[in-house]
């Protein structure tokens, strides 16, 4: 394992694979979609793609548009336009959709028309008429879409593969899928090296899409090892970029995925610790750093982070101590009780009467 990289120069492919984390670099990558229950409000120009399909760009993409039979990877949310009911969300499922243009299901005809007009990295809002969606009958299974329902899609095109035959992942052999993912990883590393970080992250996302859960569950032995050798570095490189973007929750997610496969992965532990520390989750961060140091004793980057955490804890303790001191202050001295002069006068009068009475008695005797 290597020390924290402080320089901003591009990394070689080997450094990308082996670095712990880099500082000071900038990544421009689309945020997660808006969290509201309904579709996002978009004020960009409306583009008519077809009589029943319109598009508004939310975020510009780059490069070329996919052609017929391209294998596209995308995330999307879908709502019925009349009721604003969300019936599908691949972001929430963390599983991109694979869509082969020209070979899509009938219910996705309108979605495919929209995707064909997009560039890699582009995010757009599509309005699709029911004729190019779920049709006159709708769908009463999954997803649940009422009859003759116009649909709104929020779509992000992660990227696409140009293939003449339009070969789906499910039709590929194990070696073909791992090979396709590895090429995406290598492309991502090259883009990372050239500081084209947005494009690099999209390549990593596509590589991860080839290594989906449905595929990984089927693998064992050397094939599983081969797949993880591609998949895990992509998650780790995504985490590096997300930390630079200050999107710490997402970085934690990618590191945690790696740790489910390899619980002692030092890079994943270190990067998750960094993200947790930035979120103020100091106990979790310390736990990750201590575990990482167990498998990489003497590593300077880990030791530095543990030292920073100790200094942070000390500063917080001192601040709390001063705060409490100011709140409560020194214990006040007890005030002397004020005498009640009426009671004192009464006691003096009784005492005087008692003395006079004794004197008169003594005279009588």
Q: Domains plus CATH for the chain?
A: 47-161 (3.10.50.40), 172-245 (1.25.40.10)
pTM: predicted TM-score of the whole model, two decimal places: 0.67
Distance of CA 247 to the CA centre of its chain: 6
Among 201, 208, 282, smallest CA distance to 247 is for: 201
Instruction: Give the C-alpha separation, 238 to 27, whole Å.
Output: 11
Q: DSSP string spanning 29-66?
A: -PPPPP-SSSPPP--SPPEEEETTEEEEEEE--BSPPP
Q: Work out the average pLDDT over 155-183.
A: 84
Residues 193-244 pLDDT 10s:
887 777 888 889 889 988 888 888 889 999 999 999 999 999 999 999 888 8
Q: Work out the average pLDDT over 78-89.
A: 93
Kindly tell me if the per-residue pLDDT of 172 is higher than 80: yes
Give the C-alpha distances (Å, rounded to integers) separating 268 from 143, 208, 257: 36, 16, 9
């Amino acid at each position: 394992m290597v020390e924290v990289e402080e320089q901003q120069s591009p990394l070689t492919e080997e450094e990308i694979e082996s670095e712990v984390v880099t500082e000071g670099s900038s990544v421009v990558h689309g945020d997660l979609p808006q969290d509201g229950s309904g579709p996002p409000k978009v004020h960009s120009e409306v583009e008519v793609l077809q009589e029943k399909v319109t598009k508004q760009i939310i975020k510009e993409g780059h490069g070329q548009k996919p052609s017929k039979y391209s294998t596209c990877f995308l995330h999307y949310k879908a709502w019925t336009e009349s009721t604003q009911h969300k019936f599908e969300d691949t972001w929430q499922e963390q599983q991109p959709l694979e869509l082969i243009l020209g070979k899509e299901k009938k219910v996705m005809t309108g979605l495919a028309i929209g995707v064909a007009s997009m560039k890699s990295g582009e995010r757009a809002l599509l309005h699709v008429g029911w004729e190019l969606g779920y049709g006159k009958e709708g769908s009463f299974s999954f997803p649940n879409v009422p009859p003759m329902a116009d649909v709104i899609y929020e779509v992000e095109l992660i990227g696409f593969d140009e293939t003449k035959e339009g070969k789906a992942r499910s039709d590929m052999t194990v070696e073909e899928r791992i090979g396709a993912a590895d090429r995406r990883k290598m492309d991502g590393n090259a883009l990372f090296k050239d500081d084209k970080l947005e494009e690099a992250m999209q390549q990593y996302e596509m590589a991860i899409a080839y290594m989906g859960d449905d595929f990984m569950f089927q693998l064992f032995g050397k094939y599983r090892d081969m797949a993880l050798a591609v998949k895990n570095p992509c998650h780790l490189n995504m985490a590096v970029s997300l930390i630079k973007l200050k999107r710490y929750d997402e970085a934690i997610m990618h590191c945690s995925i790696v740790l489910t496969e390899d619980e002692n992965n030092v890079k994943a532990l270190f990067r998750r610790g960094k993200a947790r520390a930035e979120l103020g989750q100091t106990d979790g961060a310390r736990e990750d750093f201590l575990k990482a140091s167990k498998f990489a004793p003497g590593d300077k980057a880990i030791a530095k982070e543990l030292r920073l955490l100790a200094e942070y804890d000390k500063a917080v303790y001192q601040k709390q101590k001063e705060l409490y001191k100011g709140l409560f202050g020194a214990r006040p001295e007890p005030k002397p009780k004020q005498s009640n002069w009426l009671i004192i006068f009464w006691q003096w009068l009784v005492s005087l009467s008692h003395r006079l009475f004794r004197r008169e008695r003594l005279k009588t005797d």
